[in-house]
Every structure is written in C-alpha cells, then in structure tokens.
Structure 1
Amino acid sequence: MSLYLCVDCGGSKTSAVVCDATGEIKGRALGGPSNFAYLGIDAFTEAVKVAVSDALKTCTTPHSIGPVSLPTSQPLFAAAWLGVSGVDSQGAIDTITPVISRLLGIPKGRNLIVCNDTHLLAAPLQMHDDVSCAITCIGGTGGIVVSFTQEADGNLKEMGRVGGWGWILGDEGGGYHVGREAVRQIILRADVASVEGQQPAEAAKDTLVGRVMKQFGLKSDVYELLSAVHIPDPVPSLTTADLNVPPYLYVPREKRLSQLAPLVFQSAFEDGDPLALKVLEISSGALVEQICILLRPRGVKASEGVICFGGSLVGVEKYRNMILDQLAQKGHDFKRVEFVDDAAAVGARGLARAHAV
C-alpha cells in the first residue's frame, strides 16, 4: 500500500499524519516543538523522528507496520511533505532536506518536499479542480499571507508572501496586533475625551475597557496601561514568591498584549461593544491590505482561487467574515473559502491527490 506522510512542524508541537493513496488517514501522532529556527538541526530532526515513529505505530493498514527504527534505508512512504516553522530561506531548506532524506529513506526530489509551514494550508488547491491558485491567510498569535499556484507535477509553487515579520515589526491581524490595537484605541479615546471634555456616547456600551483593566489588575485610570505595557520583560530572579508584584510582570511584553485578543473577541462578538468591533475592523483590515498586495495585477486572481485560513483568530467565523466582507468591498470575491484546522491531515490528503495526477 502506498503511504503518504505530512508533518506540520510548529513552535509548540509536531503533528505527523499518514494517509493512503485515497486520502484516508491511516495513522497520526503528536510530538514536541520543532521550530527549526529555535531548535537547530539536531533537536529539530529528533522531534520529527519521534513524531513520525509514533505515527507509524498507529497505522491501520492491512498489515500493521509496528515499531520502525529511523533512519531507514527502506522507503516507507511514496512521498513526504514537511511544513516547517522557522524555515524562511532556501538555505534552511537545503540544510534540512538531506537530513530528512536520510531519516525517511526518500531521495531528494519531487517525493520529498520541505518548505515553510504556511504551505500546508494551501493543500486545498491540490484538492479542487475548479481553482488555479490559492492564498493562505494565517491569523493566530501572528499573521502572514502567501499566494500559490500549482505546477504540472501537482506540487505547489509559492508566488508571493507578505508579513510574518514577528511581533516587533508586524504580525498584522494576529493576536499581538489585536491586543496592541485594543490598548491604542482605549488610550486614544481617553486622549480625545480629555480634549472634548466627555466620553463618546458609545462608551456606555463598553465592556472592553473593564476587561483589559482587570487583566492588568488596574482600577480606573486607563493611562496606567502605558506603564503596564512598557515595563520590560521579567527578570530571571523574579518568582511567584514576590507576592507584591503585579501578575502581568511575570509575562513577557509580547504576551501581555497577545493575551488581550480573547477579551477583544468576547467584547466584540458577545457584547457588541463598538470599541472592540472597531479594534477588529482595524486588525482584519490590515490583513486585507496584505492580501490585496498578492491580488495586484501581476499576482493571483481571487475569482479563480481559494483562500485558505489557518490560526485561532481566523478560526472565529465572524472574524473571517470581516476579512471576506472587506475583500468583497474591494472587488475580490474568492471562488472557494476554506478554514484549515488540521494542516497535517489536509496536507497529507493534498499530497496523495497531487501524486495521483
């Protein structure tokens, strides 16, 4: 039986999925972190080895595979596809590929694909005959958009990418951006009120300010948020024994802001808070602007493509709809819309479909 392997190598976990030629999932397993940029080649390879070995142990084929010792000189898979976080250059791919080739016993070439993990989200392009291109839109802790077409051999070809620069430089539309924009809008409204002498009428429906202030253990002065946000990251000597230290001081500055995103979503979509809705309109609009760069005249066409969403924030349908509505207002209606909540499984099925062409 021909088996196909897809491994989603992320910063928090490694997901390995094995399917057959029909796309039926035969085995899967989760492992530890495998971000290549953070771990380096040795720790990365070990994480992949463990996840793939465990996935093979679970395989339900006509004949159980059982424990397999990796590396192997006998190919166990017809093809393998690894989407690796922290891989942003050809140099990184060239470093990883021969190591994975030896690990899995698959020669370098069409049957062994190593790329950035965003590529896995574009697998629906390989599964629909009525689209010729794809845009992946990641909105989770961070954010990035990437465009693809499909080559004659069924593999994906990256056409362009925008964003994914990390929290200091960007991550538009992701959790950090949403949290930062929430604090910005809260402070801006206070600035305007200080000039006009009163709060706007919509402030009466506000629940976001209270939630954000409570998150930081603050009372009534929203300007205290400035100190809470800007205080440096925790020092190693700080422990939970320091009971007089505000809780947010145990949290890195990036997380102080990204952890506000669920509060914004709650206020916006459960309470209808106008301020929270404004924050999400701004954040989703930033993602839309990046997508539109990929849709410029020399880019891909929405009317011929599929947009593939991935990540916890765009996993919320109302937030996705904000993005799609703004794209439609700009004249960009995608032929298909997909939310990919299991990139390794979708990638495995896409790989099998591409090799059936």
Structure 2
Amino acid sequence: MSLYLCVDCGGSKTSAVICDTYGNIIGRALGGPSNFAYLSLDAFVVAITETVTAALEKSSPLSDDPITLPPTSGTPFAAAWFGVSGVDSSAAVAAITPALSKLLGIPEGPRLIIANDTHLLAAPVRMYPDVSHAVAVIGGTGSIAVTFRENAGKLEELGRVGGWGWILGDEGGGFHVGREAIRQILMEHDKASIGTPLAHSKLKDKIMDLFGIADVMEILTIIHLPDPPVNATPDSNLLSHLSMPREKRLSSLSPLVFSAAFEEGDALALRVLRTCAGHLAEQISVLLGEISEEKPRAVKAQDSVVSFGGSLVGIAEYRNLVLEHLAKRGHVFRHVEFVNDAAATGAVGLVAGFVTSGITSTNVHEC
C-alpha cells in the first residue's frame, strides 16, 4: 500500500490521518499532547507512535498484514506531513527529523515534511483563485499567526508572530483567557476595596466553586502553588486543579469563561474574551498592511484568506470578536475560513501534491 500520513501535533492533542492514493481517508486517531516545546524528544516520539499506530489499526482491514512502527519490511508510507506546535526553528526540525524518519521508515528528504502546525492551515489559499496569500491563525491552547504566499504551487512562509508559549505570550489562547479571567476577578475585588460597587458575576461564582474557596484572595494561593512533581502519584484526596501544572490550572478555566460569556451573557466573561480577542488581533495586525520599506513582506487583508484553526477560534462568537477587532484596525479579509480538521485537510493536500490534482477538503471520502 502507498499511504499518505498527516499528523497535527498540538498542545492539547495529536491528530493523525491516513489517506490512500485517491485521497480517501482510511484511518484516523487522536492522541495526547505533542507540542514539541513542552516535551522531551522521547516523550514526543511516544505520543506520535501511539497516535499513528492507532490510525494504522483503523486502516488495517485494507491491508493483508498489520503494520507496525517502525516498519519491519519496507515503509507503507509514500509521504508524511507533520505540523508540529513548538517547532519554530530549523534546529527544532533537525532535532525531530531523524526520529520521525526512523519511526516511519521514510528517508529524510522531500517525502518527509516537518514544519510548524500553522502550515497545515494555509491549504485554503488554493481554494480561491482570487487570492494568493493566506494568513493562518491558531487560537487553541496557545496562539500563533503566520502569513504565506503561494508560489509555483508551493507555500512560502512570509512572516510570523506569536507562538512563544504560555510564559511569554500565547495571546488569545486558552492560557491567556484563563489568566485574564483571574486578573479581572482580582481587579474587580481590588476596586471594591475603595468602595466601588462589586457587580455579581456568574463567572466568578463558577471559578470559586471549582477551586472550592469562599474568599477571592485565596485564588492567589491556588494559582501560585508550585507544580506537582513530574512523577508524583495522583492523590485522590487532592482537588484535581491542584494536581495540575500551573499553566493547566489557568488554561483549564477557558471553558468556564466561554460558557459564562456566550451561554449566560455574563458581563465579566464577555469583557475577558473581548480583551483576549483584541490582543490576538493586535498580534495578527503586525503581519498585515501595505508593503513598504519597513514591511516588505507585509500582506494585505483584502487580498488574502484568513484561515483559523484551534478550539477557541473554532467558536464562531469568539472568532467574530477577533475579526471585529481586526476590522477596527482596517483589516478586512476577502475570505474567512475555519479549518476544523487540519490533519484531514493536510492529508488530502499531501495526496494532491504527490499523485493527483483537484482534490480538496470538500471531496474527502472516509472508508
């Protein structure tokens, strides 16, 4: 068999999709986190191995013999494309390429494509003949924006902003939303200390209930509690959020913020999301504008498709907040896309690039 593999490696999950030579999806699976910036090489390879193996098991009915990794008798893969969160330099690509080459049995070279996960989102530029530029925006656990130009059938990266991780950035991502929620709750509490009326907030109630506290200032103790030891045995008597790393204690709050904002209309939650969306739009704006001596690789929004991916920008109301902030800055895109399944889009695009033409995400068929 000649199989085509695409793996979307993110901060919350790994998604692997396998296509046949006709662009039919014959296997797919989800696995745990595989952001390379947060994992050792060994842990990264384990996450990839488990997820791709599960996808191969789904496709095994089409094969006479089960496929194992690394392959024992020649690789079944004609090509593979990895979009890896946390791979932001040639050194990072070089660090993981030998391991992935060995795992899949694909020699290092053009059949093994390794790039940042935003590259998977640039595929929609090929759907629209009236644009030649794409702005790929990821807003999930973290955030990043990258601009591309289609040049002779290939995607050329032009500029990027963000993707620095939760300590330094990730504006508009899950960590930022959780952090901003806590900041605004504390700020409201501080204002009340000088007599400013304290409005009721369902979001504050939800977070305090989650943390099991009655005093807002107890939040500080919970947030700043050190990370649990890496090999610590889970304590069933310990509240689940206390057994999380500090970053997860904040990023795990984002679902509460979204439900309070868009399902219950909580004013504080809406303000948090408008703030975070504004920061993400500000980041994206760095890449946009008229080409000039100062910005020779800038991209015009009106001549581009913006392609969103990630759990947070997958929520239409939040995505629209980002677009509204961009429009206020004068950046209105010709086309707007949300790529719900970057791995599937990438797998089909991989087949199109190697063996066929005219295959798009709209005519993907799953077996």
Structure 1 distance, partners of 2:222, 2:32, is: 32
Q: Structure 1 311/295 Cα, relative in aligned 2: closer, same or farther at 3 Å?
A: same
Match of 2:364 in 1: none
Q: CA deviation at 1:232?
A: 2.8
Establish whether residue 319 from structure 1 lines up as the match of residue 318 from structure 2.
yes
Q: Which runs of 5+ in 1 are unaligned?
A: none
| Secondary structure at the counterpart of residue 123 of structure 1 | helix
Q: CA deviation at 1:287?
A: 0.3
Q: Is the 8 A contact 1:73 1:104 kept in 2?
A: no
Q: Deviations over 1:308-342 (max 9, x none)?
A: 22222112111111111111222212222222222
Q: Is the 8 A contact 1:72 1:104 kept in 2?
A: no
| Secondary structure at the counterpart of residue 79 of structure 1 | strand
Q: CA deviation at 1:289?
A: 0.4
Match of 2:224 in 1: 230
Q: Is the 8 A contact 1:127 1:350 kept in 2?
A: no
Kindly provide the amino acid, as one letter, of the partner of residue 123 in structure 1. A
Q: Is the 8 A contact 2:74 2:105 kept in 1?
A: yes
Structure 2 distance, partners of 1:263, 1:129, is: 40
Q: Structure 1 270/109 Cα, relative in aligned 2: closer, same or farther at 3 Å?
A: same
RMSD after superposition: 3.0
Q: Is the 8 A contact 2:86 2:163 kept in 1?
A: no
Kindly provide the amino acid, as one letter, of the partner of residue 202 in structure 2. T
Structure 1 distance, partners of 2:228, 2:41, is: 29
Establish whether residue 343 from structure 1 lines up as the match of residue 336 from structure 2.
no
Q: Structure 1 13/156 Cα, relative in aligned 2: closer, same or farther at 3 Å?
A: same
Q: Deviations over 1:129-179 (max 9, x none)?
A: 333122222222222222222231x33222222112222211111111111
Alignment of 1:225-264 (within 5 A): 225-234=219-228, 240=235, 248-264=241-257
Q: TM-score, normalised by structure 2?
A: 0.82
Kindly provide the amino acid, as one letter, of the partner of residue 207 in structure 1. K
| Secondary structure at the counterpart of residue 294 of structure 1 | coil
Match of 1:151 in 2: 151
Q: Structure 1 68/223 Cα, relative in aligned 2: closer, same or farther at 3 Å?
A: closer
Match of 1:215 in 2: 210
Q: CA deviation at 1:90?
A: 0.5
Q: Structure 1 179/120 Cα, relative in aligned 2: closer, same or farther at 3 Å?
A: same
Kindly provide the amino acid, as one letter, of the partner of residue 323 in structure 1. V
Q: Structure 1 294/318 Cα, relative in aligned 2: closer, same or farther at 3 Å?
A: same
Q: TM-score, normalised by structure 1?
A: 0.84
Q: CA deviation at 1:48?
A: 3.7
Match of 2:263 in 1: 270
Query: How many residues end up aligned between the 2 structures?
Result: 348
| Secondary structure at the counterpart of residue 286 of structure 2 | helix
Structure 1 distance, partners of 2:90, 2:227, is: 33
Match of 1:92 in 2: 92
Q: CA deviation at 1:126?
A: 3.7
Q: Which runs of 5+ in 2 are unaligned?
A: 358-367
Structure 2 distance, partners of 1:237, 1:23, is: 44
Structure 2 distance, partners of 1:150, 1:57, is: 35
Alignment of 1:85-164 (within 5 A): 85-152=85-152, 154-164=153-163
Identical pairs, percent = 58
Structure 2 distance, partners of 1:127, 1:218, is: 51
